[in-house]
Amino acid sequence: MSPVFAHGQLRLYLLALLSEGPHHGYEVMRDLEQRFNGLYTPSAGTVYPRLAKLEEEGLVERTDDGRKATYTLTDAGRAEVAARQDDLGDLKADLDRSVSQLADEVRSRVRGEAADLRAELKAAAQEARRAARPVSSVPPRGSHEEFERAINQLRATSRSLVRAKKTTEAVRDEVLRIVQEAQRQVDRLR
């Protein structure tokens, strides 16, 4: 992925953001995520050290509100923002380019993944056609073969769903709950 900020730009962005008013560190991260349309979310390890450095330089003042720290621009910080208005214009243009580049990278990645998915689906369809049996060879309901096919299908579908990149934790938990419930039901038959 392309770098989001060039050298010194995050520092300037933080100063400009704080010139709008006091912010908590989490609010700074959320603002950056919104600025990049959700394509970039800075980590706490990126934002907080920069804020601490600005505090050391006397440009930002930190006040603790319980578990949250609020960062406010000092007079020296306001003076630097005022003196760097031209740089802020350049920063805005650079950030617009960064957003555009990130969006292009995401589109490219999605295209590649979609092509991979189409190839996988095509291969799966070919395998299904190869393994398909005529209707007359379908085993009678309740047979050992039908049981094996059903249990294998449950295993394959559950694993595929749980291992999928886009599957949420809630869906994984629900699949596990369903499989465990099926096991309890079978155990009751013993």
- Give the integer Cα–Cα distance in Å for 54 and 51: 5
- Give the integer Cα–Cα distance in Å for 10 and 37: 17
At 47, which amino acid appears? Answer: V
> How deeply is 147 buried, as exposed, middle or buried, from its count of CB atoms within 10 A (0-12, 13-18, 19+)?
exposed
Q: How far is CA 77 from the centre of its chain?
A: 33
For the chain, list the domains and their CATH numbers.
9-104 (1.10.10.10), 138-190 (no CATH)
Task: Indicate the pTM of the whole model.
Answer: 0.49
Written as tens digits, the pLDDT of the chain (190 aa) is: 445 676 777 888 899 889 999 999 889 898 888 877 777 778 889 889 999 999 999 999 999 988 888 999 999 999 998 888 888 777 676 676 766 666 666 667 777 777 677 777 777 777 777 777 666 555 566 677 877 887 888 888 877 877 877 778 877 788 788 878 888 777 787 7
* Tokens found for residue 118: 């189409």
> Cβ neighbours of residue 12 under 8 Å, at least 6 residues apart?
84, 87, 88, 91
